[in-house]
A and B are shown apart, each in its own frame.
Chain A
């Protein structure tokens, strides 16, 4: 196994009432890469992330992050990770700044450190001028940017982004992409889930395609698409149909 692997997911499994939501998933993520989990709704992407982020007990297998097992040493793992959940996880009635400062303090930052980090991260997602506004008043895209900025408060080495662009306007989407690419350039390792092929294509160095709790393909976006012909026209729909013989909307 290469020196550079920062994350090792080994035969990871999760059962909900006997149903295997994640059924023997394995992949490695190299330090500093953006790794994509691509799959339709219900494929098991979020369940995988929740186990990797220590918030959901695992049924089987293990995840090693920076040398620490999520299930033997969750506290050490938490120091290394930042999570941007699929659903907004923030306080709508508070300002953007108050949200960031609060979560920063929960990460153990002093008040001054938290304030400084909050302003830096709001700058990063393009909301510095709205810092003191209530999040409830924000557009869907702006709320998602706050959701992302919160995940950066502890300067994570590994960042989980669970469908961060769902229901987002093009302007916010571009802001989010710029932020992600900036973080990668600074050396942050990123796990990015989506069901949009073109997003994975733009951002990810490698992609694992998931279906029904399993990884059914793992390669670079270009290689995945080349199997089917013109890489500029291939969509997740095509790849999925090719791999499973089913249409996306029938999946899950």
Chain B
């Protein structure tokens, strides 16, 4: 008789995976909900990443200065400029379609030439934050233009005083050349640097989210094991040739594959949607993910071993996940914590898993960096410890119904 015992744990794992895929509620919590959370985070925190505004400009100027102001305004990356005629602007203001319009009056060029910046603003209410910022940009540029004209006039006056004759337009041209040059190579530059390397919110939240949802779904998987005891399928399995070791190995493999499915799905989606990984960092991430899942799947077995009823397993799973998630810094970085919190956080699975994932994603460290090797060692030790507890305490037999 062909007995193929070696495959038994894999058959159990296959069955677990099938049940997982058919359990719509479980699928929702372990795959769909995390995706929704990721997008919510991006929507909430991603919106603050860059300010952007539209400036509505009505140019009534008959000289060239108004034109020049529009050009310089358009060159500002945070602004989009829309040029309107006066009637359109007024009617849009009347319907609140826009709340702010910058008017360059007919005498704008003359005023600038005389060293006076003069712009006019029509708005509804306070004109909106975006509108106010657009106006201050426009006012700054107008002052800049007026300043340049003043300088040109001064230069002409000085040259005249020295008795040197240079034609006015030549002076104007040289002065504006000078200013254009200083705009292209400014003395004061603003360099943007976000602490931690990458500013994308998804990069900051992804590790904590992934450790939380994998922990949650794996510990909840323990409920399924305990349910088998209640349903009678476990008792039925006890009348087959299945051994306790094979059963535990099978459940563990099943938990492992469910966790992996989750990790590959969430990281894969993050990669496709946000393009935040290189192939190398993605591979490192998956490898570290496997180790983290190995570690936490042992915890699932422990919960199954110590719970008498599915309800009990459920509460232990939820409680466990909450505590570990908060202490382990899935939402707030606790790596800088001091005292008791520092000690407690290091007792959680999340702390080490978060640390490793953050190092790989945010800092781009490789799997062989000393810090990540420490994370891996701790995670594997946790796996070994939970296995010992599971083997000691897990009973196939339960006299109670």
Chain A residues near B (Cβ < 8 Å)? 16, 50, 53-57, 75, 78-79, 81-83, 85, 87-91, 93-94, 98, 102-103, 105-111, 113, 134, 150, 154
Contact = CB atoms under 8 A, between A and B. Distances in A.
Contacts of B133: none
Among all A-B residue pairs, the 4 with the closest Cβ atoms: A89-B232, A108-B3, A89-B236, A106-B240
Given A105-B7, A108-B5, A78 B239 contact: yes
Interface string B234-246: 0111111110000
Contacts, number: 82
Chain B, interface SS category = helix
Interface in B126-147: none
Contact of A81 (B4, B22, B237, B239): B239
Contacts of A16: 399
A55 B397 CA distance: 7
Contacts of B19: 91, 93-94
Contact of A55 (B15, B22, B238): B238
Contacts of A102: 11, 15
A55 B240 CA distance: 10
A85 B240 CA distance: 13
B164 interface: no
Interface string B208-242: 00000000000000000000000111011111111
B8 interface: yes
Query: A55, A85, A98, A113: which has the most chain B beta carbons within 10 Å?
Result: A55
Nearest to B19: A93
Contacts of A109: 2-4
A119 to B, nearest CB: 17
Nearest to B14: A102
Interface string B3-42: 1110110011001001100110000000000000000000
A111 B240 CA distance: 16
Interface in B381-401: 397, 399
A106 B241 contact: yes
A94 B237 CA distance: 16
17 contacts: A56-B397, A57-B397, A78-B240, A85-B236, A87-B231, A89-B232, A94-B15, A94-B22, A98-B15, A98-B18, A103-B237, A105-B7, A107-B241, A108-B5, A108-B241, A109-B3, A154-B240
B238 A54 contact: yes
Contacts of A134: 22
Contacts of A110: 2, 4
A93 B241 contact: no
B22 to A, nearest CB: 4
B231 A89 contact: yes
B225 to A, nearest CB: 13
Nearest to B242: A106
A242 B3 CA distance: 52
Contacts of B3: 108-109
A83 B18 CA distance: 24
B239 A55 contact: yes
A218 to B, nearest CB: 26
A44 to B, nearest CB: 14
A57 B400 CA distance: 12
Given A87-B232, A103-B237, A154-B240, 15 more contacts: A56-B397, A78-B240, A81-B239, A89-B231, A89-B232, A94-B22, A98-B18, A102-B11, A103-B240, A105-B7, A105-B11, A106-B240, A106-B242, A107-B241, A111-B4
A53 B235 CA distance: 10
A16 B398 CA distance: 13
A75 B244 CA distance: 12
Contacts of B23: 93
A83 B236 contact: yes
B294 to A, nearest CB: 25
